[in-house]
Structure 1
């Protein structure tokens, strides 16, 4: 039975729990029919209204899930509820466990070379014997993307994880995902940094009450306070507008123009935005 989809902020989102997501991925591995996972948080809701590449790539996802707790809260407030937050880092961990248990191979793309190397060491310790078919850092030139895609395709990996910020990871998946021959593809944002121990994740109690963003803010207040203020304010405005004037679904290839009611963030604040 197909999970219910909810139209939120012009995007169709899948009302699924974590176990359902993992089961869909297991089916993709068995049938070799590719599944592209996408996640949506407050920052992306704001950015996709003016970034056509990001918007198109999200629309191409087979599953679009609520990475941010703010999305779940907004869905319930708007009467189109999503059952729970399905965070990208948690999907990442669960899929690594699945690959380890079932002898599947994985590929990694993203992060700085030293961070990627440390993450690979951590993964090897946590999942001894895990088959790593391919890895490449995320600081490559645009002209190299095709060559990297070819390397992933030739590796025969069962799963691909992209540890890059938005919209770079969505653009790569949108451009090359269909040609990679990888059954499970997932853009995990800053999860490589977390797995490598470079970024400390909030305690479970903070996560459950939707305050993971505040925990990160306490760690880096100078760098993050203005970004979170702008993002949260813009998202709150969009949610309020959605209550009275719900967005029509975005159309693939449509030239969506931002109106005065669509707040947006400056480019510099969205290049390295983290999942909320």
Structure 2
């Protein structure tokens, strides 16, 4: 359970939960949760009508986000982000990031669909997107099967812009269906952007871009057998089912190799040559006008992060912008980077990390190792 004091509410934006067990990999944030823990979060969202924007990044998703700030920020602003991809999970484990297991969006949907009703109402699903006719077919097959879900509506909006797909009639039709779960299938970038634009207008508590799910439910694409998924060769099965995907997987492999050779391996080698790091930490707050600047002295990894989360939450709850000054910092880790990235995407008033303060070579190497180079950018607001 998270401390209620670590959830920050502000008018006009989704709540920020600073208590989530987050880690940074490839410049994105991931919740360190098992599939059962993720399912419990989704079920709670439906039962309590709590808003939950679920993101399911895989390797292709993560690589694309490296060069698209809006796409990256859609993950950073999601309420739950799970590692959906065996290759990405192996990469995280190589970096010693404690993500417990792969949590595929398709598995989450299948588990929710197979839940026994036990006297409760089924989860009401609305399919938005997919090739012509596929959402309708998926709706029919879902409703013909026994299980914990019923489809209450579908739409195939075609190939218009995000804005064209977000007109008032479209949103009203989705809301009028009474859906609990809006499953979006517009392509990852467009789907995430559509959710970002409309999440406050949608009344469904649960929303996620799960493009492959619509095809799987409709039967237009067969998902790999479980034994193929567990061996890490699901990508070969996907190419068999959708031959056009070979180019995407080839490009992803090259991008991963390039990132590993130019960012990860050099930073890991330098880390092995570095000396012992002092583990003590101290937070020194400085307030000026509407900004709280936290000077972080020492090592901000692991056990030091709960105190930092509380300090950030207190500042945000007081209506202040929060900046992290890393000039006196000696060490950071994937947990710190995830916290900083999420804060950077959530607040508009200031950068999370004071521009130019991440000057220590050890900190820069850590940012490069986990793909969080955006925190090094001295971009104008």
Normalised TM-score (structure 2) = 0.61
Alignment equivalent of 2:259, drawn from 213, 232, 238: 238
Q: Could you report, residue by residue, the CA deviation over 1:222-274 in whole angstroms, capped at 9, with x for unpaired residues?
A: x23332111111023324523544895543267xxxxxx9xxxxxxxxxxxxx
CA positional deviation for 1:41: 0.8
Deviates more, 1:212-221 or 1:97-106: 97-106
Instruction: Give the drift of 1:10.
Output: 2.1
Give secondary structure in 1 for the equivalent of 2:61: helix
1:1-276 to 2 correspondence within 5 Å? Answer: 1-2=1-2, 4-98=21-115, 102-103=120-121, 104-127=123-146, 130-139=149-158, 141-142=160-161, 143-146=164-167, 147-221=169-243, 223-240=244-261, 241-245=263-267, 250=341, 251-252=344-345
> Which has the higher relative contact order, 1 or 2, with Cα contacts under 8 A spaced 6 or more apart?
1
SS of aligned partner of 2:23: strand
Partner SS for 1:85: coil
- Distance, in Å, in 2 between the alignment partners of 1:244 and 1:81 is 21
Contact 1:118–1:196 under 8 Å retained in 2: yes
Determine if contact 1:119/1:195 at 8 Å carries over to the other structure.
yes
Residue 125 of structure 2 contacts residue 153 of structure 2 at CA under 8 Å; is this kept in 1? Answer: yes
CA contact (8 A) 1:217 1:225 kept: yes
**For the structure 1 residues 75 and 125, does the alpha-carbon distance in structure 2 shift closer, same or farther, using more than 3 Å as the test?**
same
Count residues in correspondence.
255
Let me know the Cα RMSD of the aligned residues: 2.6
Q: 1:55 to 1:61 in 2, by over 3 A?
A: same
- Displacement of 1:47: 0.6
Q: Structure 1 residues 100 and 130, CA, compared in 2 at 3 Å: closer, same or farther?
A: farther
Match of 1:265 in 2: none
C-alpha separation in 2, matches of 1:150 and 1:197: 29
Q: Is the 8 A contact 1:99 1:130 kept in 2?
A: no
Q: By how many angstroms is 1:213 displaced?
A: 0.3
What is the DSSP-based 3-state SS (H/G/I as helix, E as strand, rest coil) of the residue aligned with 1:108? strand
**Cα–Cα, structure 1 residues 132 and 210, in superposed 2: closer, same or farther, change >3 Å?**
same
Match of 1:272 in 2: none
SS in 1 for 2:200: helix
SS in 2 for 1:105: strand
CA distance in 2, matches of 1:24, 1:106: 17
**Using the alignment, how far apart are the partners of 1:201 and 1:68 within structure 2?**
14
Distance 1:25 1:220, change over 3 A: closer
Q: Return 16-25 or 237-246, whichever deviates more.
A: 237-246
- How has the CA–CA distance of structure 1 residues 219 and 93 changed in structure 2, closer, same or farther, with 3 Å as cutoff? closer
Change (3 A) 1:69 1:94: same
Indicate the structure (1 or 2) with the bigger Cα radius of gyration: 2
Gaps of 5+ in 2: 3-19, 268-332, 352-367, 369-381
Deviations 1:37-75, CA, capped at 9 Å, x for gaps: 101111111111222221121111111101111111011
Larger strand proportion of the pair? 2
User: Structure 1 residues 96, 219: CA separation in 2 closer, same or farther (over 3 Å shift)?
Assistant: closer
